[in-house]
């Protein structure tokens, strides 16, 4: 049945690269719902996502994967449950240039804890090229303290291959039989 509702959700704080990552792999131009940034967000970028981003992967036989990007601001937290409903997996992007990336990680892990309990999550760390600390090793240590085992990979949200590798890590974590 082509009219499915399979989706992969991209989440993370403001400026972590969610919109860019979806644009990198989407088969359609990403539908953005950006507004001029207000309050604290303006310090990081001129516009920000206020509802959600939407992209699409067209597969064989008319099947599709919807790509949803959550708004990064915490005041839109009420939307996250709605967006994750029916999701295949979660991609959390974290910006290594933000002052407290571990706090961000824990915040999003907690916000999506019910979804993560029943599904899989992969974490992509962006902006590492100019901000080498904290290192991936430290991220992994912090993640293990949260009792979660998930891939953490360095990514450039603009690089299609990086985002594809993140999704592959998600898929093989969900189903190691793939490729056999």
Partner 1 sequence: MPKQNTTEPIRVTTIGLDERSQEVLRIAFSSASKGTCILSDDATADVVICNMDSSNAKALWNKNSVLHPDRPVVVISVKDPCLDNSIYVSKPINITTLITSINQAHLNRGELTFSKVSNATATQTQQHIHSAPPQPRTIQDKNKETEEPPVPDGQWQDESDTVISYYSPTDYLQGKLQEAFVLAKSKKTAVQLSIKLKGGWSSITTDPTHNKVISEINNEELKSLCTTPICCIDTRSKLVNNNDFFEHNKNDKLHIEDTNEQFLWKIALWTSAGRLPQGMTPSHLIQLKHWPNLTRLTQSPNDIRISALLTEQPSAPALIAKVLGIPITHVFSFYAASHALGLTTSATRNSAQKPSFNIPQKSKHHSLFGKILNKFSS
User: Looking at 14-22, 37-45, 99-107, 172-180, which segment touches partner 1 (CB under 8 A)?
Assistant: 172-180
175 is an interface residue for partner 1 by CB under 8 A: yes
119 is an interface residue for partner 1 by CB under 8 A: no
Tell me which of 57, 91, 92, 93 binds partner 1, using CB under 8 A: 57
| Residue 36 or 135 with smaller CB distance to partner 1 | 135
User: Looking at 9-17, 35-43, 96-104, 149-157, which segment touches partner 1 (CB under 8 A)?
Assistant: 149-157
| Residue 4 or 100 with smaller CB distance to partner 1 | 4
**Cα dihedral sign, 62-84-159-138:** negative
Residue 149's closest CA among 121, 177, 112, 176? 121
For the CB of residue 99, give the shortest distance to partner 1 in the complex, in Å.
Answer: 22
Tell me which of 132, 134, 147, 157 binds partner 1, using CB under 8 A: 132
Token output for 133: 């600390």
177 is an interface residue for partner 1 by CB under 8 A: yes
Helices 136-145, 101-111: inter-axial angle, 10-degree rounding: 40
SS3 sequence of the chain = CCCCCCEEEEECCCCCCHHHHHHHHCCCCCECCEEECCHHHHHCCCEEECCCEEEEEECHHHCEEEEEECCCCHHHCHHHHHHHCCEEEEEEEEECCCCCHHHHHHHHHHHCHHHHHHCCEEEEEECCCCCCCCCHHHHHHHHHHCCCCCCEEECCCCCHHHHHHHHHHHHHHHCCCCCC
For the CB of residue 136, give the shortest distance to partner 1 in the complex, in Å.
Answer: 5
131 is an interface residue for partner 1 by CB under 8 A: no
Please report, as residue ranges, which positions from 86 to 115 form the binding site for partner 1 (by CB under 8 A).
Answer: 88
For the CB of residue 126, give the shortest distance to partner 1 in the complex, in Å.
Answer: 11
**Which residues lie near partner 1 (CB under 8 A)?**
6, 57, 59-60, 63, 65, 88, 132, 136-137, 140, 143-144, 149, 151-155, 161-162, 164-169, 171-180
């Amino acid at each position: 049945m082509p009219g499915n509702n399979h989706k992969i959700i991209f989440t993370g704080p403001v400026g972590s690269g969610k919109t860019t990552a979806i644009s990198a792999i989407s088969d359609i131009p990403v539908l953005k719902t950006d507004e001029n940034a207000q309050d604290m967000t303006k310090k990081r970028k001129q516009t920000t996502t206020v509802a959600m981003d939407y992209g699409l992967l067209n597969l064989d036989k008319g099947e599709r994967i919807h790509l949803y990007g959550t708004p990064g601001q915490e005041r839109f937290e009420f939307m996250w449950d709605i967006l994750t409903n029916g999701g295949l997996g979660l991609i959390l992007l974290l910006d290594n240039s933000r002052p407290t990336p571990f706090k961000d990680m824990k915040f999003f892990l907690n916000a999506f804890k019910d979804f993560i309990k029943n599904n899989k999550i992969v974490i992509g760390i962006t902006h590492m090229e100019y901000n080498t600390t904290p290192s991936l090793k430290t991220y992994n240590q912090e993640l293990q303290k949260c009792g979660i085992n998930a891939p953490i990979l360095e990514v450039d949200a603009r690089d299609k291959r990086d985002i594809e590798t993140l999704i592959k890590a998600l898929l093989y974590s969900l189903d190691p039989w793939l490729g056999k």
